[in-house]
Structure 1
């Protein structure tokens, strides 16, 4: 009996060593899985190295760099953070390029105005909506008329050539009058007079086949968008005008 009891006290415990190794590997695996769920490349890399060391196999089972790159590619949070600044930068670059091209077009038109001696009858202005060409009274029409004179038709044709851009821009032609009633059967109000003037000018512009009619529109505002006071003759003369808006690409 004594010998049997002594034998039980010295049972072979060698099986505990591989069991402990298995537990260690399982623990390391759970840690790696937890780390993989967190977008923390540095932590993932450190734990991956520790796990590979346990396996004594180097980087054969887990390629930490590949795992990090995959996490980066598939994470919507990472993509949002990267795409938004890039999108904003592209929009800013496009806006600056657009302004540069409009500035070059403005110089071209002003050079034409100077060459033909049309200043101050023709003027340009850069606005938030785009480049505006102002054509004052007397350049295109006689007082109370919406018919473009023969001399003015040449100017309209030359202006049409200045409106050709690549890519094409939207062009808005606007007619404006002073607040003096027309008293004409053909144009009962300034609405009819201003809109007819804008349309007649647009028709001549669109004789240029390099321009796309789908990009054009004509509008009459009558006396309702004055740039000067209608209380003086000089102010009323300023308000009687045709404006050509060469729009921004972003509109």
Structure 2
């Protein structure tokens, strides 16, 4: 009877075999989060390798980390880190802004000097100055510089060129571009085959006079001929054609504000 009594009070144990794979899964998840926490920056290659390892361990058909939001977030973090301004970048920008302000003041002072010279010598109808976001431009009418159809600099124009050169000596580290322009009427003499020839020769001859000043650096000078192809007025009138025949001396800025330069209106066309 005692044996029967023991059987009646016997308790059956539940099947706990599921605990083994469950514990393995928890271990793998714990390892995953430890790795994620320890990583300073997310590397897609490392995630791919780790995904393959977990995939092999779990023997499933889909990678554990395949196409997860964690990888995408890591790539976004990398992009943000690359585009985020660094402290030294802010310092560089501040220095650049300061240099731009100093350059602006220097070019304004030069413009005032040239304008004063123009007024004092009664050249307001022949010379003009314009300061924009890319350069200080001195525009000189061809009538003030050359005989008609010629690139020989007039004696009075040589005096003007020397005066401009003297003012440029205080800005001797700036790039200077001398450009020649004509109207659209074909050249008709034996010295020049086209308006290209005439405009180029005039730019070079005027630059030659500027460079008689030994305090200017020839390496920073260049001469360009544009012919008739960059007019500032219509070629349909006598006045318009006279405005188009010109020489421009441009003092190029070292520090160009790209944003403002893009906002500048295009050169008017005939």
For normalisation by structure 1, the TM-score amounts to 0.67
Name the counterpart of 2:188: 183
Counterpart pick for 2:174 among 169, 174, 182:
169
Task: Give the CA deviation at 1:166.
Answer: 4.3
Question: Pairwise mapping of residues 41-56 of structure 1 onto structure 2 (< 5 A)?
Answer: none
Counterpart pick for 1:193 among 195, 198, 202:
198
Name the counterpart of 2:154: 149
Counterpart pick for 2:164 among 156, 159, 166:
159
Question: Pairwise mapping of residues 15-94 of structure 1 onto structure 2 (< 5 A)?
Answer: 81-94=86-99
Task: Give the CA deviation at 1:80.
Answer: 5.7
Task: Give the CA deviation at 1:150.
Answer: 1.7
Separation in structure 1 between the aligned mates of residue 134 and residue 85 of structure 2, nearest angstrom: 31
Matched, 1:132 2:137: yes
Matched, 1:206 2:202: no
2:224 aligned counterpart, secondary structure: strand
| Residue segments in structure 1 that go unaligned for 5+ positions in a row | 1-33, 38-75
Moved over 2 A (4+): none
Deviation sequence 1:188-225 (CA, Å, 0-9, x none): 10000000000000011100011010010000000000
Task: Give the CA deviation at 1:90.
Answer: 1.3
Task: Give the CA deviation at 1:167.
Answer: 5.3
CA contact (8 A) 2:172 2:215 kept: no
Deviation sequence 1:111-140 (CA, Å, 0-9, x none): 111111111211100122210000012111
Counterpart pick for 1:102 among 107, 115, 125:
107
Separation in structure 1 between the aligned mates of residue 205 and residue 241 of structure 2, nearest angstrom: 22
Q: Call closer, same or farther: CA 1:166–1:179 in 2, change over 3 Å.
A: closer
Task: Give the CA deviation at 1:250.
Answer: 2.5
Matched, 1:249 2:261: no
Counterpart pick for 2:234 among 218, 229, 232:
229
Separation in structure 2 between the aligned mates of residue 122 and residue 111 of structure 1, nearest angstrom: 11
Name the counterpart of 1:58: none
CA RMSD of aligned residues (A): 2.2
Q: Call closer, same or farther: CA 1:166–1:224 in 2, change over 3 Å.
A: closer
Separation in structure 2 between the aligned mates of residue 248 and residue 235 of structure 1, nearest angstrom: 29
